Structure formats: C-alpha cells, structure tokens
Amino acid sequence: MGKTLAGVAKQLRDTNKKVQLIYAFNGVGKTRLSREFKQLVAPKNGNGEGEATDQPESPRGKILYFSAFTEDLFYWDNDLALDAAPKLRIQPNSFTDWLLALLRDLGQDGNIVRYFQHYANDKLTPHFSEDFSEVTFSLERGDDENSDNLKISKGEESSFIWSIFYTLLDQAISTLNIAEPENRETRQFDTLEYVFIDDPVSSLDENHLIELAVNLAGLIKTSPPDLKFVITTHSPLFYNVLYNELNAKTCYLLERREDGTYTLAEKKGDSNKSFSYHLHLRKTLEQAIANNQVERYHFTLLRNLYEKTASFLGYEKWSELLPDDKQAYLNRIIQFTSHSTLSNEAVAEPTPQEKQTVKFLLDNLINNYGYWQQQEMQNG
C-alpha cells in the first residue's frame, strides 16, 4: 500500500538513521518531499504532528535544507531601465535573514568565494554587498583590472547557491563538534537535528560531481553522531559515489504509484545492483505505455535510456541509435525534454501520436541492439 509524501517524510523521520540516501527519477516528487519533511520536523506553526502550539518553531532551528526551493530564494535584478549592473538578490525571509547574518558575523564570505571558484572558474569572483542582501560577479584578470559586473549562467548560479549552503553546513558541523556549547563561536546550531539535501548542482560535469559527492561524504563522516542526513538524487553517479563513500547509511528507491501515492523501498547495493537503473527505466516506460499514461517526463526517461545504452555500446552520440529518420525523432525528444520555462515555448502534453512515438522508440532500442537482446535472454 502506498503512502502520501507526508507519510514518506514520517517514515524517514521515524527510521532514525544517521544517513538516508534516496534515488528517484525526475518528476517523482523529491523536491516536494523535502518540503514535507521540513514541515514535519519543524513546522512554522505546530509541533510536527499537526497540532497547534503557542510557540511557533522556526525551521532553521532543527533543519538545514537544500533544494529547488532554496534556489528560488535567489533572483536576478537586471534593472534594464537604468542600465545598471546585474545583481543576484537574496529574497529576505526568516531562513535567509538567519543564514546571511551567520555568514556575515562569522566571516564566511571568503570561504564561499573559494569553494565557488573551485567548481566554476577561478577568475569568476562574487562580491557580497555590505548587508549580504545581494551579490555581483566579475572576472578578475590578474592584472589589477576586473571586468564589468556580469550575469553568470544558470549552472554557475546553482554552484554559487550550493557553495553558500555547503559553507554554512561546514560551519555548523565544525561548531557542533565543539563538545561544550559555551565554548562554541555561535549557539545558533545547538538545536540542529537534520540536514536535507536534494540534488545539489546536477549541472556539474562528472569529475566535479564526483568530487562534490566525496567532499559531502567526508563532511558527513566528521559530523556529530546525532546529526542526521537525508539526501535525494536523480543522478545514479552521485548516488553511487555516496553509497560507496558512506558506510553507515540506509538506501531507498522512491517511486510514485499509479494512484498518486508513493513507496519508499529499502535497497542494498549501488544503483545498478540494487534497482538495476537501466531495467527500471525500461519497466517504468513499459508500464506507462501499457496504461496509456505517457507524460512529458517519460520522454526524459526514454532519452536517458538511449544515452545509457549508447554509452555502454560505445556510440559517440545517443542519437545514432534512433531509427532511419533520426532528425525527426531527435527533434521530438528534445522538444519534450527541454527545460524551457518561457511561456511562448511551453510544450503541451503529448498527443496520442506522440505517446505512440515513445512505444516505437522503446521497441527500436530493445529489438535492434544486442545489449537489450542479451538482457531478454538472461531474463527469459
């Protein structure tokens, strides 16, 4: 029997493990789960069980979390009317006010810059305003000259926001590792119980993503025993690195059922051993086709399956595996797997003919390539 996301969040909290590592495909509900978990652990008004209390509890006291919602707190002010330099502004709320005050008071801006430059560009330099409410970026040329302020890419922006979170997490762990609270530089982390991290910086290349996972695992291993971590991801590479780096962890596969409920199944082994990533992709697509429930995100899964098969078979491009009219199918897949948010580029839900395309391309992959034919023989 499936659960609501609130029920899954309760299962994670009640399991009471040091590290819980969760794999889920994009679109399943990882980011929404992060909100449900935060609300359960430290609701804005309540005691975590849905009962009102006289003393509202701030989420920042018990939990640090990183997700798409965290990134939404940062936004660009381009000020085109006055032709002013673009600035990355930080939306004020109780969490960011507390976060920025801590970073300012503890002098952590230099660590943020160093961490960001390691993953982005060692010449690309963030500059915090005096009150830490906005950030500008320039290229340091090394000859006492800087570029004008510039707007960084979305991937660089994500890396910068992660750098802020990671710096705060590093500070929290080093502070909590001081046994006597009265000797700590700040008492702001004294009640911290949970850290929830959802897909940090998936725009990184493989080498940097591996390094990020190793660094995060190293930080977790130095954390106090009673500080618990929940980490969700759609990246099998990130999942596998954390799986191998962390000894004391519980691993799950989060799935959404046809009735809209969820299951959180405990798994053993890395992504291929525990839930056969490529086979799970195929099963998910086959079920959607059989039930005539193909949605936009199934095109993303189909593309992922093509990419994985092409990589295994040594093809330079996954599009080489497409049927004869490659460009037509390629355009259709890209159309449905783009992440455009512009209203005039919005793509409607798949038509019956487009849903049939998913079946046709899945059959093409299974019937025409030896890798999948070997899988059929092993399973049959």
pLDDT at 81: 59
User: What's the CA gap between 74 and 209, in Å, rounded?
Assistant: 22
Tell whether the model's pLDDT for residue 339 goes beyond 50.
Answer: no
Minimum mean pLDDT range among 33-37, 40-44, 116-120: 40-44
Minimum mean pLDDT range among 122-131, 165-174, 229-238, 366-375: 366-375
Location of each CATH 3.40.50 domain in the chain:
5-74+107-121+154-274
∠ CA 35-36-41 to the nearest 5 degrees? 100
pLDDT band at 263 (very low <50, low <70, confident <90, very high): very high
Structure tokens at 300: 């993303």
pLDDT at 149: 83
Tell whether the model's pLDDT for residue 45 goes beyond 80.
Answer: no
Identify the H or E element spanning 136: strand 134-139
User: What's the CA gap between 127 and 85, in Å, rounded?
Assistant: 12
Highest mean pLDDT among 98-107, 144-153, 178-187, 283-292: 178-187
pLDDT band at 342 (very low <50, low <70, confident <90, very high): very low
Better pLDDT: 274 or 266 = 266
Q: What are the pLDDT digits (tens) for 70-90?
A: 889 999 987 655 556 789 999
Residue 345 exposure: Cα atoms within 13 Å on the Cβ side: 9
pLDDT at 63: 93
Report the chain's C-alpha Rg in angstroms: 23
Q: What are the pLDDT digits (tens) for 85-144?
A: 789 999 988 778 877 777 788 888 899 999 999 988 889 999 998 888 899 999 987 666
The crossing angle, in degrees rounded to 10, of helices 277-290 and 296-313 is 140
Task: Mark out the alpha helices in the chain (DSSP H runs).
Answer: 5-15, 30-41, 59-62, 68-71, 94-105, 109-119, 154-176, 206-221, 236-245, 271-275, 277-290, 296-313, 326-337, 352-368, 370-379
Better pLDDT: 351 or 49 = 351
Tell whether the model's pLDDT for residue 7 goes beyond 90.
Answer: yes
The crossing angle, in degrees rounded to 10, of helices 352-368 and 370-379 is 80
pLDDT at 245: 93
Taking a C-beta distance cutoff of 8 angstroms, is the pair 160, 126 a contact?
yes
Taking a C-beta distance cutoff of 8 angstroms, is the pair 75, 88 a contact?
yes
Mean pLDDT, to the nearest integer, of 225-237?
A: 92
Tell whether the model's pLDDT for residue 51 goes beyond 50.
Answer: no
Q: Domain 5-74+107-121+154-274 is of which CATH architecture?
A: 3-Layer(aba) Sandwich (3.40)
Tell whether the model's pLDDT for residue 182 goes beyond 60.
Answer: yes
